[in-house]
Structure 1
């Protein structure tokens, strides 16, 4: 009986996370504390800076609607803060989900244009703004996949130009996951993303994006065991994010760790 119950629970859990591997897990407002350690330094004023760091943390746990609110608050606090509008544009682009909806494209393109108009006080910030404008440029004429590859290329250059900027590397890794081909069973881009993230990990052990994107990089039957340390740490890093509580279950389920998978889904 106990075996049958466990088997049934395992079957249910297997069907849920694996079928929903790239589905969104957007959440309504709840506890926005405990989102992990993110320090996205900018030239904006101190009032805007807190909202920007919070918005970046929310993006890294795919809480896009709340991230957009934080970035808009930053823009209100500092109208000269172009990077705040970069954040709004980023919150409307979800690389590992489906392409943006028409409304998201419109909102994101408007925000990217505002970021460019507001300008940047540093070359680093200008690099982020230029990169996201690469994605939104000519969205009505250029296919999503082409624009996503353009963004990936821009982020690769930004990460290379600023090797000490861990956020540039983390966003570059995310861009790789966003352009990985589902038909490539060598998982070349996923492995490259994981390589980038593992280089950053010693400096950023409490960063939500590092653990989260390692899980996405290895969320495949052949690779899942490589994500187990990240799966066991992500929920502890960002317990205020429902997605951080759920996402580890993908790996636990693939590895047959039913108790941990059940606990992960119940917590989320």
Structure 2
């Protein structure tokens, strides 16, 4: 499949220079920031570097900036670009990667300072502000330096309110200080979030199709109580950098939050095609892994596959979810998320869809594969659930005991799982399995209590998409409340779930049952029609909100 910007006869821009450090990539968008250069090609590579940086493909960005500086070695802005691309960003901070590990950013900003007299006053001011981020001699404490840089960018934005890139760097500087922690659990803003939001909105008012502002706005708003505010950014982002798989994928962050699961699947499937096409174009050209965050076309695919898995799961499509999970279990090694969570997702998908025969058949092999406390605990959770579903209480309780042991096992939090510590995720799993076992015994009050504890753990997961726990425990809590003839409470639980996991069929079906159980036939009929539409891509029938 060729995407529209890469027809069958598409070729890379002519570059005959054997010393070139980057490739000009077709489909790289049109956003440009003019620099004072006599070299048209240097300007072109600078623009590509800027767009790639705004798309979080940093090795490709740095290579493009390096080529711009090779073509115009006295221009300070390509060196500023290298410093910007090599430095921290909200994602690197979130996964605790060390800033500028090879010193490339510091070296670049020092070179930009040395050449700054060749730039405009605005460029000199931007270079000086960026140096604050790197100047450990003046401010040794990383946290203090982050806020000093934020202050410098705030001042620069006030001085140059019409510059979209400055506004975007200002918004990004705020996001670096809080590391994906922008909103309270009720969706209200934490300190500084509204200032960061205003900065990005100012950038988009100046340049509606700014690749960085729209990208960062999606990241800022996805965890808020109003993710729909970023829908315009989601709808336009791909066109700003259509050759970047990450930018093609990014709308999925909002599509998941607003319940547009088909769109999330399509954008993430398309992003994988784009990265493969990018790889063909870039080939073995210079690929400098010298910055803080290593995301690139080479390692993005596992994240996209995870979105395909999760969105299919929310649509009730086992085949789609399972295929993506299986593919990703092999792709995860070396990816940013590690392979622990990706391996467990194969098992969790089988559990979510009640593939009990398969789980039992795979028990011996998966116990052997489970070589970390997290994987041992997650397989115990899945296996215990399979036993409980068949009323096999004694083996289910044995798996529960094994799961409980993993929570305090040595090194439990050392293996890569996700932003949430593994012991937190395993504690959630323990209460969830406890609830399933108690429910299988007919002890609904105990089951409801444990599901409630699991919900508390779920609500305190570190934010990421897809989340570090795949299936909402409210689906289990609601079903148990219905079984206990507490339909009014179940209704509340399902409506709570639909506030976050909008338009998901599992909770919608539970809500329909809760309304029907309260003899609210007219409301139930409306919700049932909604469910039928939401479940059109499913391959499983529901009799309650969880299997």
For the aligned pair, the TM-score class normalised by the smaller chain equals 0.7 to 0.9
So what's the TM-score if we normalise by structure 1? 0.81
Q: How far is the alpha carbon of 1:103 from its aligned partner?
A: 5.3
Q: How far is the alpha carbon of 1:193 from its aligned partner?
A: 2.4
Q: Are 2:21 and 1:32 equivalent residues in the alignment?
A: no
- Partner of residue 89, structure 2: 95
* Equivalent residue runs for 1:1-268 within 5 Å: 32-46=25-39, 47-99=41-93, 101=98, 104=101, 106-120=103-117, 121-138=119-136, 142-180=140-178, 182=181, 185=184, 186-268=189-271
- Tell me, in whole angstroms, the C-alpha distance in 1 between the residues paired with 2:120 and 2:240: 30
- Tell me, in whole angstroms, the C-alpha distance in 1 between the residues paired with 2:257 and 2:160: 36
So what's the TM-score if we normalise by structure 2? 0.41
Q: How far is the alpha carbon of 1:221 from its aligned partner?
A: 4.7
Structure 1 range deviating more: 108-117 or 197-206 = 197-206
TM-superposition CA deviations, 1:201-222 (whole Å, max 9, x none):
2432222112111101201151
Structure 1 range deviating more: 205-214 or 40-49 = 40-49
- Tell me, in whole angstroms, the C-alpha distance in 2 between the residues paired with 1:42 and 1:57: 14
Q: Confirm or deny: 8 A CA contact 1:38 1:57 kept in the other structure.
A: yes
- Tell me, in whole angstroms, the C-alpha distance in 1 between the residues paired with 2:50 and 2:134: 19
Q: How far is the alpha carbon of 1:126 from its aligned partner?
A: 0.7
Q: Which runs of 5+ in 1 are unaligned?
A: 1-28
Q: Confirm or deny: 8 A CA contact 1:32 1:241 kept in the other structure.
A: no
Q: Confirm or deny: 8 A CA contact 1:93 1:104 kept in the other structure.
A: no
TM-superposition CA deviations, 1:82-135 (whole Å, max 9, x none):
111111111111321234536535111111111111223321111111111101
Q: Confirm or deny: 8 A CA contact 1:214 1:227 kept in the other structure.
A: yes
Q: Confirm or deny: 8 A CA contact 2:130 2:149 kept in the other structure.
A: yes
Q: Given the superposition, is the C-alpha separation of residues 33 and 210 from structure 1 closer, same or farther in structure 2, using an over 3 Å criterion?
A: farther
Q: Given the superposition, is the C-alpha separation of residues 267 and 82 from structure 1 closer, same or farther in structure 2, using an over 3 Å criterion?
A: same
Q: Confirm or deny: 8 A CA contact 2:23 2:64 kept in the other structure.
A: no
Q: Given the superposition, is the C-alpha separation of residues 188 and 139 from structure 1 closer, same or farther in structure 2, using an over 3 Å criterion?
A: same
Q: Confirm or deny: 8 A CA contact 1:92 1:105 kept in the other structure.
A: no
Q: Confirm or deny: 8 A CA contact 1:31 1:241 kept in the other structure.
A: no
- Partner of residue 9, structure 1: none
Considering only CA atoms, is the larger Rg found in Structure 1 or Structure 2? Answer: 2
SS at match of 2:236: helix
Q: How far is the alpha carbon of 1:48 from its aligned partner?
A: 2.1
Q: Confirm or deny: 8 A CA contact 1:51 1:73 kept in the other structure.
A: yes
- Tell me, in whole angstroms, the C-alpha distance in 1 between the residues paired with 2:258 and 2:24: 30
SS at match of 2:192: helix
Q: Confirm or deny: 8 A CA contact 2:167 2:202 kept in the other structure.
A: no
RMSD of aligned Cα (Å): 2.4
- Tell me, in whole angstroms, the C-alpha distance in 2 between the residues paired with 1:264 and 1:89: 31
Q: Given the superposition, is the C-alpha separation of residues 214 and 102 from structure 1 closer, same or farther in structure 2, using an over 3 Å criterion?
A: closer
SS at match of 1:119: helix
Q: Given the superposition, is the C-alpha separation of residues 90 and 105 from structure 1 closer, same or farther in structure 2, using an over 3 Å criterion?
A: farther
Higher RCO (CA < 8 A, seq sep 6+): 1
